[in-house]
């Protein structure tokens, strides 16, 4: 019985090492910005795979704006928190049909990204704001992947170019009576006048203590590159 179990385990390990149809990977470049990029790639055919990339950055402090000022108020320090989320499914075609989906590849992907900024300040009055960018698009990719004898993988995403539609939503609220939210909206629209496609904020709602608005959709190019390390199993 013991010999049979050892034989079965040995066969499983050998078969698993041969197939290597699953790859779990971690992106390295994003770690320098506290972004975590997790990737899973599944082999569909000797030269075709699908990959899902989930990226996120937990909310963390970005910086303090020491001279932030709204007309009619004093300068205040604002603590800013930054967070991100990305979802990128991708289809890959490997040019070398003899190997099990490794070597040089080209790919096409869908791309969703959300970037968020949250700011607040508490003193005599409270000031709270948030800005969120949502991006939906697609792109083409080019890279190469090595699978070592021990199963470890190196995926060099040489170049990815994409284009998509974005919108920016923002909101601000404060109990400071010196703030005029209608004036803030007018100033924001004035600053956007010189940017094609962003001439005016839409869906703007404001009262004595808050303001919320969203920009019209606008095109945004996207550039991607990076290296991932992982394991094939």
At 4 the pLDDT is: 41
The Cα 123–Cα 49 span in angstroms is 55
* Parallel, antiparallel or unpaired: strands 218-232 and 48-68: unpaired
Burial class (CB in 10 A: 0-12, 13-18, 19+), 20: middle
At 9 the pLDDT is: 43
Three-class secondary structure assignment of the chain: CHHHHHHHHHHHHHHHHHHCCEEEEEECHHHHHCCEEEEEEEEEECCEEEEEEEEEEEEEEEEEEEEECCCCCCCEEEEEEEEEEEEEEEEEEECCCCCCCCEEEEEEEEEEEEEEEEEEEECCCEEEEEEEEEEEEEEEEEEEEEECCCCEEEEEEEEEEEEEEEEEEEEEEECCCCCCHHHHHHHHHHHHCCCCCCCCCEEEEECCCEEEEECCCEEEEEEEEEEEEEEEC
Three-point CA angle 104, 112, 135, nearest 5°? 120
pLDDT in 10s for each residue of the chain, 233 residues = 455 445 444 444 444 444 689 999 999 998 988 899 999 999 999 899 999 999 999 877 765 454 555 555 555 566 778 889 999 999 999 998 777 889 999 999 999 999 998 887 777 788 788 889 999 999 999 999 999 999 999 999 999 999 999 998 888 888 888 787 777 777 777 777 766 666 666 667 878 788 888 888 889 999 999 999 999 99
The domain segmentation of the chain, as residue ranges, is 2-232
**Contact of 157 with 109, CB cutoff 8 Å:** no
CATH class belonging to 2-232: mainly beta
The Cα 189–Cα 199 span in angstroms is 7
At 84 the pLDDT is: 93
């Amino acid at each position: 019985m013991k010999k049979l179990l050892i034989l079965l385990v040995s066969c499983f390990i050998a078969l698993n090492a041969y197939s290597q149809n699953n790859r779990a990977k971690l992106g390295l470049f994003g770690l320098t910005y506290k972004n975590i990029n997790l990737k899973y790639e599944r082999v569909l055919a000797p030269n075709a795979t699908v990959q899902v990339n989930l990226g996120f950055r937990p909310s963390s402090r970005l910086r303090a704006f020491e001279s932030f000022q709204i007309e009619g108020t004093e300068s205040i320090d604002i603590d800013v928190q930054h967070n991100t989320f990305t979802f990128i499914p991708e289809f890959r075609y490997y040019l070398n049909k003899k190997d099990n989906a490794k070597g040089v590849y080209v790919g096409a992907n869908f791309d969703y990204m959300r970037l968020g900024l949250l700011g607040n300040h508490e003193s005599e009055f409270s000031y709270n704001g948030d800005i969120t960018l949502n991006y939906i698009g697609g792109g083409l990719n080019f890279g190469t992947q090595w699978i070592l004898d021990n199963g470890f993988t190196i995926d060099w995403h040489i170049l990815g170019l994409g284009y998509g539609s974005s919108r920016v939503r923002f909101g601000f609220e404060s109990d400071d009576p010196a703030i005029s939210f209608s004036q803030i909206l007018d100033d924001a629209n004035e600053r956007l006048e010189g940017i094609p496609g962003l001439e005016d904020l839409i869906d703007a709602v404001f009262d004595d203590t808050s303001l919320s608005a969203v920009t019209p959709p606008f095109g945004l190019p996207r550039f991607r590159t990076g290296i991932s390390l992982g394991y094939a199993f």
